[in-house]
Amino acid sequence: MSNIVMESWTLEEGTRKATELFESAYGYSPEALHSAPGRVNVIGEHTDYNGGFALPMALPHRTYAAVSQRDDRIVRLVSAQEEGVREVNLDEVDTHDSKNPVEGWPAYVVGVAWALEQQGRGKMPGLDLAIDSCVPFGAGLSSSAALECAVAVAWDALMAQTDNWISMMTTTKGRKELVDACISAENEIAGAPTGGMDQAASMRCRAGAVILLDSKDASIRHIPFDLESVGLEMLVIDTRAPHRLADGQYANRRGTCEVAAKKLGVEYLASLTRDTDLSALNEEEQKRARHVITETARTLDFVELLEDGALTDERLGLIGSLMTASHESLRADYEVTVPELDIAVETALEYGAVGARMTGGGFGGSAIALVRKHQASAIMDEITKRFAKEDFNQPHFLHARPSAPAN
């Protein structure tokens, strides 16, 4: 059985695909091409709603948008991943809870224009738009943020050609405001709750670096993590595990953390240290709190190791151990893994990964393994075999390294 690898596209490939789709849908050539990456969280899981840190990196996998400005308020959209050409009038965009919500995937696109208008930037022009993407959907790799961020920079770049618009994507402040617009688009127009890590990663990451994201104030710090230079890659394993009864589990974990924080007299669990006495909590609360506290410590240790100096074998070993300990904590204390995630991690480690863990919310989705490039194919072979033996869906793999932001 051969491995299924979801290859990332070069800029030329992405440009050609989106351009061809544009030309076949609208019969003329697009004015501009923009793109934005998906992301994966390296460490710092289930800490965002606990006042803690996450450490995402952008994938080399991107969503490409070929665009032309129109002189009315109509957005025509087509996506290689969806059926048909859709049309939305920007004057009719209303929130998801209104009587007339925008149905389906166009909400992620027109929501961005709506949000920029809400920021008081004046009316946005209509667009003809064609989307193509190599970011897998619903694998926890944030295809939604990639889509929003690609169209956000497209609108910004088109508007920046006019006199009354200062380019947003060329400044830090502007990129932050674009992140905010993409978050409101997803929350309010698409009606999907999202914390903001995805949009920050897609809009503000840097090639060869991870982002330390502080959930308390959404501030970020870039930390160099140049895997290429030391012959490593981040292998992403999309387990394609079926959605089990995960509904309500997220709210349940969140609720338990809130109760635990209250009992311990703090606003957020992430502000506590490892030596905190947890005996006032019941057993379940203790486990959840222990995950949040140790995960926060692991994330900061990870950053310290990266900032301390070169990625020597010794330092890589420590980094890998932190990733693996994160998985163990999510499995035993936070209880959000499923057999597919555990087996992907276990197999990757057995066949030489430096470290491995589930990533994202859990209950399915993806795992990541920090691997030496020359070991990647053996690790993929073994995971594919093991999944077949267990009668799991066949996993998909992505070769990843910290990549460039929306542009």
Nearer to ligand ADP, 193 or 265 (CB): 193
Q: How far is the CB of 306 from ligand ADP (least distance, A)?
A: 26
Q: How far is the CB of 288 from ligand ADP (least distance, A)?
A: 24
Measured CA to CA, the distance from residue 349 to residue 356 in angstroms comes to: 7
| Residues in contact with ligand ADP by the rule CB under 6 A | 63, 79, 81-82, 105, 108, 131, 133, 137-138, 140-144, 147, 192
* Listed residue (32, 69, 43) closest to 318, CA to CA: 43
Neighbours of 47 (CB within 10 A): 26
Q: How far is the CB of 33 from Mg ion (least distance, A)?
A: 23
- Residue 147 binds which of Mg ion, ligand ADP, none (CB < 5-8 A, kind-dependent): ligand ADP
Does residue 46 contact residue 253 with C-beta atoms inside 8 Å? Answer: yes
- Which one among 15, 50, 144, 329 touches Mg ion, defined by CB under 5 A? 144
Annotated active-site residue in 198, 217, 275, 301: 198
- Residue 105 binds which of Mg ion, ligand ADP, none (CB < 5-8 A, kind-dependent): ligand ADP
Is 394 exposed, middle or buried, given 0-12, 13-18 or 19+ CB atoms closer than 10 A?
Answer: middle
Does residue 328 contact residue 76 with C-beta atoms inside 8 Å? Answer: no
Among the candidate windows 138-146, 155-163, 221-229, 265-273, which touches Mg ion by CB under 5 A?
138-146
Nearer to ligand ADP, 144 or 239 (CB): 144
- Residue 79 binds which of ligand ADP, Mg ion, none (CB < 5-8 A, kind-dependent): ligand ADP
Q: List C-alpha distances in Å: 180 to 104, 196, 214, 406.
A: 21, 8, 15, 14
Q: List C-alpha distances in Å: 141 to 57, 221, 283.
A: 10, 21, 32
- Residue 133 binds which of Mg ion, ligand ADP, none (CB < 5-8 A, kind-dependent): ligand ADP
Nearer to Mg ion, 60 or 136 (CB): 136
Nearer to ligand ADP, 22 or 105 (CB): 105
Structure tokens at 338: 């499923």
Strands of 53-54's sheet, edge to edge?
A: 53-54, 209-214, 219-224
Measured CA to CA, the distance from residue 363 to residue 345 in angstroms comes to: 14
User: For 278-366, where are the alpha helices, taking DSSP H only?
Assistant: 283-308, 313-332, 339-350
Among the candidate windows 78-86, 142-150, 161-169, 214-222, which touches Mg ion by CB under 5 A?
142-150
Number of residues that bind Mg ion (CB under 5 A): 2
Q: List C-alpha distances in Å: 183 to 95, 97, 192.
A: 13, 16, 9
Q: How far is the CB of 144 from Mg ion (least distance, A)?
A: 3
Residue 234, C-beta contacts closer than 8 angstroms, at least 6 positions apart = 40, 42, 57, 227, 368, 369, 370, 371, 400, 401, 402
Q: How far is the CB of 269 from Mg ion (least distance, A)?
A: 25
The b-or-e profile of 137-159 (16+ CB within 10 A means b, else e) is: eebbbbbbbbbbbbbbbbbbbbb
For residue 198, indicate whether it is catalytic.
Answer: yes
Give the x-and-dash track for 326-345 against Mg ion (CB under 5 A): --------------------
Determine phi and psi for 206, rounding to 5 degrees. Answer: -135, 150
- Residue 299 binds which of Mg ion, ligand ADP, none (CB < 5-8 A, kind-dependent): none
Nearer to ligand ADP, 81 or 393 (CB): 81
- Residue 255 binds which of ligand ADP, Mg ion, none (CB < 5-8 A, kind-dependent): none
Residue 244, C-beta contacts closer than 8 angstroms, at least 6 positions apart = 338, 363, 364
Q: How far is the CB of 317 from ligand ADP (least distance, A)?
A: 31
Nearer to ligand ADP, 190 or 305 (CB): 190
Write out the residues near Mg ion by the rule CB under 5 A: 142, 144
Residues taking part in catalysis: 198
